[in-house]
Structure 1
Amino acid sequence: MPTVNLELQLKFLNELDTALADALGRYSDESAEKLAELEYMQREVTRARRVINDRLKVNADDDTLSVRKARASSLFQEAAFS
């Protein structure tokens, strides 16, 4: 299964959000329909960033738990052989 670089995805989404904000400012005199579409895309980028941040947090928590489990496991092994 391929690994996904979440930091890279987050960087892309941040740049996309900036571009959409610029577009909203630049095209503020366009039709309401076009502005609504840009606003929708910006909301979707915000939602995607939230998902990526949650995944990054879960991965960080999993790494912390793995280290704790490894330490606890080695402590229990020492106790079992003492």
Structure 2
Amino acid sequence: MPKVNLDLQLKFLSELESALTDALGRYADESDEKLAELAYMQKEVRRAKRVISERIDSDDQPRRRYPAEGYQEVAFS
């Protein structure tokens, strides 16, 4: 499984959030539907940033892993 660069994803999401903020200001005169769509996208970007930040923090904490740990969810599903 390829390793994901979480810092790069966080940087991309920050730039995307900034662009959405600019778009919300630029399209303030547009329809309510378009503004709601932009606001929804911005909310989802913030949620994704929060998830990635939590994942970065959890990766920083040293943790002992056991070989069967990855299969635990499958066994109980």
Common topology (TM > 0.5): yes
**Which secondary structure state, in structure 2, belongs to the residue aligned with residue 50 of structure 1?**
helix
Unaligned runs of 5+ in 1: 67-82
TM-score computed with the length of structure 2 as normaliser: 0.80
Q: Deviations over 1:21-46 (max 9, x none)?
A: 00000000000000000000000000
Deviation at 1:8, TM superposition (A): 0.2
Greater fraction of residues in helix? 1
State the Cα RMSD in Å: 1.0
Count of residues paired in the alignment: 64
Instruction: Report runs of 4+ in structure 1 exceeding 6 Å deviation.
Output: none
TM-score computed with the length of structure 1 as normaliser: 0.75
What percentage of aligned pairs have identical amino acids? 64
Supply the distance in 2 between the matched residues of 1:61 and 1:54 (Cα, whole angstroms).
Answer: 11
